[in-house]
Structure 1
Amino acid sequence: MSAVELFADWDERPAPATAAVPAMPPAAVAAQVVPAVAVPPAPATLAPVAAADKRVVNGRADINQLAPFRYPWAWQFFLNANRNHWTPLEIGMAQDVTDYHHRLTPAERHVFETVLAYLTTSDVLAMRNIGLAVMEKMSAPELQLYQARQVYEEALHTWTYQHCIETLGLDQAEIYNRYRVVPELHAKIALASRRLDAVLRPGFDLAEREHLHDFALSYLFFAAVFEGCWFYNGFSPIFALQRRGLMKGTAEQLQYIMRDEVMHCAFGIRVVRQLLREEQLTLDPAALTAMWQEADATEAAYARHLLREPILGYSAELHLGQFRFVANRRARQLGLAEPFPGAANVLPWLDEQVNLRKEKNFFETRVTEYQTGGALAWD
């Protein structure tokens, strides 16, 4: 039964039977005294909200009032994100079923399954980070509005991975539990969880400079490393298969996801830069170095597990090299020193591979002319 059929008679349902209540005689009704209800005094009028009173965190403006905008670019992010609406059900997977069961080599199936196993957990973690650790700390509603959309998109991405797993007939328990039993996957999730938990601890107050620094570093990690590098790099093995005509349905869905994730990264980097300016906050260089080194070490171990046997056109060395190249770019976008000087663009095809159209340079996090998912044209 459809939802329309189920609720078609919603207003026509008979009221539940109740026991008859004897009517009170008129004299008894007249004798009843209705107690007086105190009417609260009218609240004092408030001063209009000024855009200058808004801040990324610790703002003084009314959090419930969207305009006037202090950050009009955040509103534009929200509008662009809603033009990129799609669901995994729009993309055919029939050829992927044949590819997975009959065309992929054992090494390629290992790569494909490992990527899905990592992504399934990662997007739930990303959703929790924005919903629990970031969004509630924002004090400008235009920032929160885009982040609410971001929470939805992370849930949509999780649905996409589940759709692929179900369609291909993979063992769900085995795929979802890999991050718990495979050390190389667990290390990445554990590192991200630790940085998330650091800003969820009791008594975390952004009015304290130390806590403000910890929050900025955590948000930077999730925007620039977790989504800007690990997610970006995480899709490339599937795109390598797509370039050879394999698993094209899955890869197309990841291209939609990539479009979302690059916007998440771009938005997060812009918020971090704004936060550092507003609060006159300088990040500890040693803490930044440790962040990049930890991310690099866990990505190197993951790459060795993911590509324990190289597949045609892709290897662990290429995977790690591209991570370092992208990490340098994210650092420059943040106005920071490159963590891996001299890292080369070892996958020159990746930039074009993740572009939905040539005028959209996702690698540079420049997004223009969004369409609804059903209307997208692919090169």
Structure 2
Amino acid sequence: MSHLLDPGFELTLRPMHYPQFYEMYRNAIKNTWTVEEINFQIDISDLHDKMSPADRHLIHRLVAFFATGDSIVSNNLVLNLYQHLNAPEARMYLSRQLYEEALHVQFYLTLLDNYLPDPNERHKAFAAVNNIPSIKTKADFCFKWIDSIHDLRRIETREHRKQFLLNQICFAACIEGLFFFAAFAYVYYFRSRGLLPGLAAGTNWVFRDESCHMAFAFETVQVIREEEPELFDADLEEKIYAMLAEAIDCETQFAEDVLAGGVAGISTREMRQYLEYCADNHFQRLGMAKRYHVGNPLPFMELQDVQELTNFFERRVSAYQVGVEGEVSFDMAF
């Protein structure tokens, strides 16, 4: 019986051992969007005319984080995850995820070009991982986990397997599930004020992609749990709790920075509670007990699914899938 983390390079797609990964790949292919469809014209006038200096500080910090965030994820995919998930159907999904991360990088590049017309400001944003302390803290946290398995060429031992799991969980639960989820919350906060529709439209698509990336990562962890339950001991659980606590601290530090000017309608305390709420959801997906036991303090995030529906009659919805064939009527369940 082969396992997902067995060393080597399995090439056989039939019989397929993990059809769920192949289905995830196929579903990802159906969900295709392009950066060229996003219009930033209203955003530019919003930035100039409708936003306070505190609002603009928040946006500048946010786009500086976006500038390199997905590049960090892409590097981890290629350098650490692809070689160790030993199923060709899983690697098919990762290859699609890598494309989507590149698309997100393109989106954020275009966003920065529109939001920061001054070349010096743009340069500072792209160098944020070095010179903005609250972003450097997050980047350092990411690199600590990337480097933890960077020299691991073959997964041979139980400790190697646990190292891999902690890297995978870090990327699903902390980087995509806390750092990016908090970033999306700021975007949807502005949308709730009727601001920055281009950023919100692109973020809808990125948010949907990231949710699929997380679902894939959590599914790989679940498969490994079923195949090798002995890896999921008290020691691993304690490390996961500690990892997410550290990520929440990093992101709270970022919140203190981005909200430093006093942004009406959102506070550092609420952001920390939202992070704890997200972390508890991740613990449950990992088969672990909640740690924080708090509700979602951001009502505009509860409306996220509703927004997907209300977008339906716009030019193109963010939940759109290419290649829908046959008859479609409005009372059909999609």
Normalising TM by the smaller chain, what interval? 0.7 to 0.9
SS of 1:136 mapped into structure 2? coil
Q: Matched residues in 1 for 2:130 and 2:185: separation?
A: 23
- Trace 1:55-70 onto structure 2 (pairs within 5 A): 55-58=3-6, 63-70=10-17
Match of residue 300 from structure 1: 252
Matched with 2:72 is 125
For each residue in 1:92-121, what CA deviation from the matched residue of structure 2 results, as whole angstroms up to 9, or x when unmatched? Answer: 111111111222111111111111111221
In structure 2, the residue matched to 1:333 is 285
Deviation digits for residues 24-60 of structure 1 (CA, Å, limit 9, x no counterpart): xxxxxxxxxxxxxxxxxxxxxxxxxxxxx45311067
Q: Tell me if the contact between 1:269 and 1:333 (Cα under 8 Å) persists in the aligned partners.
A: yes
Q: What's the CA shift string for 1:253-294, capped at 9, x where partnerless? A: 011000000001111011111112212312423312321221
SS of the residue corresponding to residue 249 of structure 2 reads: helix
C-alpha change, 1:353 and 1:138, in structure 2 (3 Å) is: same
Aligned to 1:17: none
2:232 aligns with 282
Provide structure 2 residue ranges, at least 5 long, that are not aligned to the other structure: 311-318, 325-334
Instruction: Give the C-alpha shift of residue 156 in structure 1.
Output: 0.7
Q: Which residue of 1 is the match for residue 148 of structure 2?
A: 198
State the alpha-carbon separation in 2 of the partners of residues 207 and 214 from structure 1.
Answer: 11
Name the SS for the 1:212 alignment partner: helix
Structure 1 unpaired stretches of 5+:
1-52, 360-368, 375-379
2:205 to 236, 248, 256: 256
Q: Residues 119, 355 of structure 1: CA spacing in aligned structure 2 closer, same or farther, 3 A cutoff?
A: farther
Q: How does 1:211-360 map to 2 (within 5 A)?
A: 211-280=160-229, 281-283=231-233, 284=235, 285-340=237-292, 342-353=293-304, 357-358=308-309
The total of aligned residue pairs comes to 312
- 1:201-234 alpha-carbon deviations (Å, 9 max, x no partner): 2x55311111111111111111112112221121
Change beyond 3 A, Cα 1:102–1:323:
same
Greater Rg over alpha carbons, structure: 1
Q: Kindly state the Cα deviation for residue 353 of structure 1 after the two structures are TM-superposed.
A: 2.3
Q: TM-score, normalised by structure 2?
A: 0.87
Structure 1 length normalisation: TM-score?
A: 0.77
Q: Secondary structure at the match of 2:156?
A: coil
* Aligned equivalent of 2:321: 371
* Whole-Å separation in 2 of the counterparts to 1:54 and 1:355: 43
Q: Quick one: distance in 2 between partners of 1:91 and 1:73?
A: 32
User: Which aligned runs of 4 or more in structure 1 are off by greater than 4 angstroms?
Assistant: none
User: Is residue 99 from structure 1 mapped to residue 46 from structure 2 by the alignment?
Assistant: yes
- What does residue 62 of structure 2 align with? 115
Displacement of 1:348: 2.9
**How far 1:303 moved relative to its partner?**
0.9
Alignment check: 8 A CA contact 1:258 1:354 kept: no
Q: Which whole-Å CA distance do the structure 1 matches of 2:22 and 2:277 have between them? A: 30
Take 1:112 and 1:355, find their aligned partners in 2: how far apart are those partners? 24
Q: Secondary structure at the match of 1:67?
A: coil
Query: Is the Cα contact below 8 Å between 1:185 and 1:302 reproduced in 2?
Result: yes
2:130 corresponds to which letter in structure 1?
R
- Structure 2 counterpart of 1:269, one-letter code: F
Question: CA 1:225–1:112 in structure 2 vs 1: closer, same or farther (change >3 Å)?
Answer: same
Measured on the aligned residues, the alpha-carbon RMSD in Å equals 2.3
Task: Specify the code of the residue in structure 1 equivalent to 2:209.
Answer: D
Displacement of 1:174 after TM fit? 1.2
Q: d(CA) in 2 for partners of 1:355 and 1:78?
A: 26
Provide, for residues 143-193 of structure 1, a one-character-per-residue CA deviation record: whole Å limited to 9, x for no partner: 110011111111110110110111232522011112211211101110111
Q: Which amino acid aligns with 2:288?
A: L
- For residues 144-223 of structure 1, the aligned pairs below 5 Å read 144-168=91-115, 169-170=117-118, 171-201=121-151, 203-223=152-172
What's the counterpart of residue 48 of structure 1? none
- Aligned pair 1:81/2:33, yes or no? no
Contact 2:7 2:84 in 1 (8 A): no
Higher helix fraction (1 or 2):
2
Taking the TM superposition and a 5 Å limit, the aligned residue runs for 1:26-65 are: 53-58=1-6, 63-65=10-12
Cα distance 1:370–1:65, how it changes in 2: closer, same or farther (>3 A)?
farther
Aligned partners of 2:2, 2:87: CA distance in 1, in Å? 6
Shift of 1:310: 3.0
- Cα 1:178–1:249, aligned 2, differ >3 Å: closer, same or farther? same
**How far, CA to CA, are the matches of 2:4 and 2:42 in structure 1?**
46
CA distance, structure 1, for counterparts of residue 188 and residue 323 of structure 2: 19
AA paired with 1:228? G
Report the Cα distance in structure 2 between the residues aligned to 1:267 and 1:310, rounded to whole angstroms: 37
- For 2:14 and 2:3, how far apart are their aligned partners in 1? 13
Residues 129, 152 of structure 1: alpha-carbon distance in 2 compared, 3 angstrom cutoff: same
Post-superposition Cα deviations, 1:54-103, rounded to whole Å, max 9, x if no partner, equal: 5311067x722223221111111111111111111101111111111222
Q: Structure 1 residues 230-239 or 349-358, which shifts more?
A: 349-358
Q: Which residue of 2 aligns with 1:138?
A: 85
